[in-house]
């Protein structure tokens, strides 16, 4: 609880400083030229460091998506340890079937009606027929979710659907990696994307400080979202691998009505469809920030080149940060809801 309160304090302090920086009129700070130069250097250095960290985090995110959703994911879901583990579990499941059939035979001879062996026999026969296809059935669910997720990736990254799609699209939309530059010879700042404007006045330097400070904050939010997203997809890959391995045992559990089988199915649908849900929400953000209206009216460069009030742009970027964080949280919740819905449909199909 104390850790949560500390985090809330840090966020509140950052937002308060950001608000002060954006609301403070530029003319109030025109007297301290040297101070502004030093402060601009410092904040731009922070933003440069955050930009590099964001690039590394984005690369980690891209590769985690590549190996969880794209074509390279097939090597994890069909080959190696997954194939070997599934074969062993299938053989073990066949042994269980023998014992179950022996039990049903004894119950039939002794006429033990309380065990419902007749109803159990039907489920066992059906599971015995499907157990050899348990890995295939599991991969069909996974592949269906991956196909949907790939569509959103292609919309963000182009028709080739190659690496460097999601994180690059986000960086391109926010235009944070190409905002400011400093000529090493003339020692003058240049606002990129504004026709080579070289600000010399303190009022423009103050806006540069505003840009770099809040830009660093937004980059930290993007780093958090992409890092948590990378963990989400890496965890998804590992969990789905184990689900495929233990699929034969889950089919036995389904036949005998085990609660562990229900958990297995719930986890399968949860982990499978959290990927397209997460990428869909990220696509909404990326589609917005790459829109031409956003690029011309609400980018960081607009703070220097336009007369739009800084507080309006600040508010829009706070909303974007909230959407990025919300994408991760909502995807996790909706993934669980989709799994619960699939379980209910399966029970309805079985007449329960």
* CB count in 10 Å sphere of residue 337: 14
Q: How confident is the model at residue 333 (pLDDT cuts 50, 70, 90)?
A: confident
C-beta separation of 36 from 206 below 8 A? yes
pLDDT score, position 292: 54
* Residue of 22, 21, 68 whose CA lies nearest to 272: 68
Q: How confident is the model at residue 327 (pLDDT cuts 50, 70, 90)?
A: confident
- Give the integer Cα–Cα distance in Å for 327 and 289: 15
* Residue 245 CB burial class (10 angstroms; 0-12, 13-18, ≥19): buried
C-beta separation of 170 from 281 below 8 A? no
Establish if 252 belongs to a structural domain: yes
pLDDT tops 60 at residue 26: no
Establish if 140 belongs to a structural domain: yes
Establish if 122 belongs to a structural domain: no
What pTM did the predictor assign? 0.72
Report how many domains make up the chain.
1
Residues 337-346, mean pLDDT to the nearest whole number: 48
C-beta separation of 174 from 323 below 8 A? no
Establish if 123 belongs to a structural domain: no
* Residue 128 CB burial class (10 angstroms; 0-12, 13-18, ≥19): middle
Establish if 15 belongs to a structural domain: no
Domain with 326 in it = 31-86+135-349
pLDDT tops 70 at residue 158: no
pLDDT tops 80 at residue 250: yes
If you average pLDDT over every residue of the chain, what do you get?
70
Residues 83-100, mean pLDDT to the nearest whole number: 83
The 8-class DSSP code of residue 210 comes to H
The 8-class DSSP code of residue 197 comes to B
Establish if 23 belongs to a structural domain: no
b/e code 216-234 from CB counts within 10 Å (16+ = b): bbbbbbbbebbbbbbebbb
pLDDT score, position 213: 76
Q: Which residues contact 51 (CB under 8 A, 6 or more apart)?
A: 176, 177, 219
pLDDT score, position 350: 46
Among the residue ranges 13-27, 33-47, 84-98, 251-265, the one predicted with the least confidence is 13-27
pLDDT tops 80 at residue 35: no
Angle at 333 between CA 162 and CA 167, to 5 degrees: 25
CA dihedral 252, 257, 259, 265 (to 10 degrees): 60
Establish if 220 belongs to a structural domain: yes
Establish if 184 belongs to a structural domain: yes
Angle at 152 between CA 150 and CA 157, to 5 degrees: 90
């Amino acid at each position: 609880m104390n850790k949560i309160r500390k985090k809330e304090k840090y966020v509140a302090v950052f937002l308060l400083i950001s608000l002060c920086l954006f609301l403070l009129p530029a003319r109030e700070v025109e007297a301290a030229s040297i101070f502004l130069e030093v402060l601009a250097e410092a904040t731009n250095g922070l933003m440069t460091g955050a930009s590099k960290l964001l690039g590394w985090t984005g690369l980690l995110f891209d590769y985690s998506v590549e190996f969880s959703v794209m074509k390279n994911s097939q090597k994890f879901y069909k080959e190696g340890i997954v194939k070997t583990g599934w074969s062993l579990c299938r053989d073990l499941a066949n042994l269980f079937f023998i014992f179950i059939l022996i039990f049903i035979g004894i119950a039939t001879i002794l006429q033990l009606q309380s065990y419902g062996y007749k109803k159990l026999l039907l489920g066992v026969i059906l599971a015995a027929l499907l157990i050899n296809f348990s890995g295939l059935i599991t991969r069909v669910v996974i592949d269906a979710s991956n196909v949907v997720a790939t569509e959103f990736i292609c919309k963000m990254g182009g028709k080739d659907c190659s690496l460097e799609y999601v994180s690059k699209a986000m960086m391109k939309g926010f235009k944070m990696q190409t905002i400011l530059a400093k000529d090493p010879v003339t020692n003058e700042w240049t606002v990129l994307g504004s026709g080579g404007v070289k600000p010399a006045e303190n009022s423009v330097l103050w806006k540069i400080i505003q840009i770099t400070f809040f830009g660093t904050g937004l980059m930290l939010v993007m780093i958090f979202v992409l890092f948590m997203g990378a963990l989400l997809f890496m965890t998804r890959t590992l969990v789905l691998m184990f689900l495929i391995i233990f699929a034969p045992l889950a089919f036995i559990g389904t036949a005998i009505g085990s609660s562990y089988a229900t958990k297995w199915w719930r986890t399968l649908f949860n982990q499978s469809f959290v990927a397209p849900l997460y990428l869909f929400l990220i696509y909404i953000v990326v589609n917005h920030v790459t829109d031409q209206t956003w690029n011309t009216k609400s980018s960081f460069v607009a703070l220097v080149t336009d007369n739009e009030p800084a507080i309006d742009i600040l508010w829009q970027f706070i909303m974007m940060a909230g959407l990025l964080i919300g994408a991760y949280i909502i995807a996790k919740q909706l993934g669980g809801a989709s799994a619960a819905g699939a379980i209910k449909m399966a029970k309805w199909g079985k007449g329960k």
